Amino acid sequence: MFDVKDSDFFDVEEEDFDTILASDINFRGTIRFTKPFMIRGTVTGAIDATSDLVVDTNAVVTAGINASRVLVRGKVEGDITAKDLVFVTATGSVSGDIISKEVVLEPGAHFSGKCTMTGE
């Protein structure tokens, strides 16, 4: 689904996700998942995944995130640990530390924290 070298990186559609947390949902607690997951609402707590996570444009996540790949279009307050990739778009904001093999910050993205790239 995510590949920085792919031109269809931003063409993720709702059909690509088994679960979408809708924009009118406020969730508190721990979310665990093994298949691609999209957040459009508000999450407070923790996210622990073995798959891909998209924080959509108007989403607000106040949580530590552990996932395979993370695409941030909305707002994340908390540390992000991703096995392969963290991509913060121009509309995205991350306040917290990022640890990942690959990190991409688009021009216009907001990032406040420490970044550690783990390499190959």
Give the model confidence (pLDDT) of 77-86 as tens digits: 999 999 999 9
Q: What is the pLDDT of residue 9?
A: 45
User: Is the pLDDT at 8 greater than 50, yes or no?
Assistant: no
Map residue 16 onto helix, strand or coil: helix
Average pLDDT along the chain:
89
pLDDT in tens, 18-76: 788 899 999 999 999 999 999 999 999 999 999 999 999 999 999 999 999 999 999 99
SS3 assignment, position 65: strand
Domain ranges (residues) in the chain = 19-94
Q: How many helices (H) and strands (E) would you count in the chain?
A: 0, 12
Long-range CB pairs of 44-53 (<8 Å, 24+ gap) are: 52/1, 52/2
Q: Cβ atoms within 10 A of the Cβ of 50, count? A: 12
Whether 80 contacts 92, CB under 8 Å: no
Q: Which of 71, 61, 59, 69 is nearest to 30 (CA)?
A: 61
Are 86 and 68 contacting, i.e. CB atoms less than 8 angstroms apart?
no
